[in-house]
Structure 1
């Protein structure tokens, strides 16, 4: 087969596609990876149907759109994919994104993004426990996860449709959904790698940062999870979405930091005292955090870039991966 490098790129690209057509994609030898989700929520599909003509007819256009993105996305050498596997991974990601977009709206974005933080936020470096593993499915009755059942439910519906063509873990669904929520509301586009395995048990309790922590406590909590103060401040910007009082609740921008600098909770004007959580307000009282708050308030592009990188790190924290991912 011809190389895909050099002047013969177009010709060899066609050969590469013919070598690995959609209808001969790898069979899935593992079962449904959504083991953290209760059986009633899981699809029984375990392989890609060879008779799915609609998928075959649209596969080439999807692969063409995602080909360059897949090969340009930087990955550690140990997990770089071969041509056929990279095609399949890109195709699978597009499938997940398409189904999520069908059920996701701007009004649901904040809840979906919160789902990401509450699943991944249990990670602890010391014992490599918790993290992005879909265990939130078992943890919805915990007080800190109140209100997340609706957010998970819409992803379960999307997952059923994905599983009919390609089994996917709930951890992957949540990770991609959070990125789609950010993009839908005007934030940065965030590339998310697939291949996470779901946990079969809930994560230990008491691992999420508490809303009442001061800045010192927040920094210590995030350090145990492998995140710097800068990453703590960048990830906190997710609170720009939702009903916490930081600008438009369905627009992802740097309004969070601008409002923090104004300190409206010090005002005696009614509900302005309710803006944000105690942990949000605490950030402004810490010199190191304040330095990053000021930078992000002045430069939205910088915030977007740093949030994107911190988000990728968050959804990879504690994840266990399929061997072929």
Structure 2
């Protein structure tokens, strides 16, 4: 039986450490660059002052023009991530870099909390995946309504028969939201983002669990295997899709079926109405039930999906299971964006102004 569980909760902290380390390295580089730029500005300011105080025409030329010194300092204050931009005079570009930095830090905090929380409550992984599916599956292509908009949080929607058993998963994610919202400068986390990124963390637990099993059961070896030949690098575009807006009320009833009651053909038809192909339907089998093998046994009753079930079943037997993971991530990305335009400025805020006197 395909397991949805992590072999050890300690793996959560290992993954979080890996992501934190990567961000910390970028932040350290930013700090070094900023310090260098400010020191350069200070030296230039001193030379400017020396030049203005001197009446001699033989005074040494300034090492850095006054205008360039100002631009360097302002850019250092507003663009803390990238060394090449430390001399940029484009304020719009500088502001964009600041927002990227803010969103990266916010996302790291969110993903870390989600992964640790879900890894400690692994029995809810299937429900978290179905929560994300059912929130997105209200999308209607004809009217362009519904989708991954967090509407499933409303009691009217979460209480529907197709969402039976999902309240505990929602409550678990709400605990993460409360912690992330505390002290957040860029506004509260949307339920739409919470649910889809919660599902991302749940999917990662399944990938890491598989890597850990193939590494002999040791969490550290499993993590090393996952990062060496697994698919963590494939999540980059998904991570950029941060900024979904919440619906103001529940989506219309009757749009989401009880998946377990549907035949393979009916599941394929429903996914087609969402804009997902038979192949992508098979990719998302993890979202359709508590046991992957049981779901796949149903899906392969359809001739069009049978070949894809065989393909991904074979992929999972390999050490890297690359085809299975990469294609699942792609299909999940498409699902998570149904009816969900992304606000790329979400969770950003006006940074404190730094004044320099010349």
Question: Which TM class, normalised by the smaller chain length?
Answer: 0.5 to 0.7
Once the two structures are TM-superposed, the CA of residue 130 in structure 1 deviates from its matched residue by 1.1
Is 1:86 paired with 2:100? yes
Of 95, 100, 105, 2:114 maps to 100
Once the two structures are TM-superposed, the CA of residue 220 in structure 1 deviates from its matched residue by 2.2
Of 345, 348, 351, 1:324 maps to 345
Once the two structures are TM-superposed, the CA of residue 176 in structure 1 deviates from its matched residue by 0.9
**Alignment correspondent of 1:151:** 169
Partner SS, residue 89 of structure 1 = helix
In structure 2, relative to structure 1, the CA distance for the partners of 1:160 and 1:214 (3 Å cut) is: same
Q: String of CA shifts for 1:178-235, please: whole Å, max 9, x gaps.
A: 1111112325543432111111110111112443333333222112111111101110
Using the size of structure 1 for normalisation, the TM-score is: 0.62
Q: String of CA shifts for 1:69-112, please: whole Å, max 9, x gaps.
A: xxxxxxxxxxxx93222111111111111222342232222221
Mapped contact 2:242–2:344 kept (Cα < 8 A): no
- State the distance in 2 between where 1:152 and 1:196 align: 17
Mapped contact 1:215–1:286 kept (Cα < 8 A): yes
CA RMSD, Structure 1 to Structure 2 (Å): 2.7
Is 1:115 paired with 2:131? yes
**Alignment correspondent of 2:269:** 220
- State the distance in 1 between where 2:35 and 2:142 align: 45
Size of the alignment, in residue pairs?
225
Q: String of CA shifts for 1:48-80, please: whole Å, max 9, x gaps.
A: xxxxxxxxxxxxxxx98xx9xxxxxxxxxxxxx
Mapped contact 1:133–1:320 kept (Cα < 8 A): no
Q: String of CA shifts for 1:91-140, please: whole Å, max 9, x gaps.
A: 11111112223422322222211211111111121111111111011111
In structure 2, relative to structure 1, the CA distance for the partners of 1:237 and 1:160 (3 Å cut) is: closer
Mapping of residues 1-12 of structure 1, within 5 Å = none
Partner SS, residue 144 of structure 2 = coil
**Alignment correspondent of 1:164:** 182
Is 1:203 paired with 2:251? yes
Farther-moved stretch of structure 1 (200-209 vs 280-289): 280-289
Q: Give the unaligned 5+ runs of structure 2.
A: 1-27, 38-79, 83-94, 209-230, 317-321, 347-358
**Alignment correspondent of 1:303:** 324
- State the distance in 2 between where 1:117 and 1:321 align: 18
In structure 2, relative to structure 1, the CA distance for the partners of 1:90 and 1:120 (3 Å cut) is: same
Once the two structures are TM-superposed, the CA of residue 321 in structure 1 deviates from its matched residue by 3.2
**Alignment correspondent of 2:140:** 124
Q: Which has the larger radius of gyration?
A: 2
In structure 2, relative to structure 1, the CA distance for the partners of 1:299 and 1:16 (3 Å cut) is: farther
- State the distance in 1 between where 2:104 and 2:247 align: 24
- State the distance in 2 between where 1:17 and 1:323 align: 29
Q: String of CA shifts for 1:249-307, please: whole Å, max 9, x gaps.
A: xxxxxxx3xxxxxxxxxxxxxxxxxx55xxx5442222210010111111132111100
- State the distance in 2 between where 1:127 and 1:18 align: 54
Structure whose residues are more often helix by fraction: 2
Is 1:137 paired with 2:153? yes
**Alignment correspondent of 2:195:** 174
Q: Give the unaligned 5+ runs of structure 1.
A: 1-9, 20-62, 68-80, 247-255, 257-274
In structure 2, relative to structure 1, the CA distance for the partners of 1:215 and 1:94 (3 Å cut) is: same
Of 278, 281, 304, 1:232 maps to 281
Mapped contact 2:139–2:339 kept (Cα < 8 A): yes
Mapped contact 1:126–1:224 kept (Cα < 8 A): no
Once the two structures are TM-superposed, the CA of residue 323 in structure 1 deviates from its matched residue by 6.0
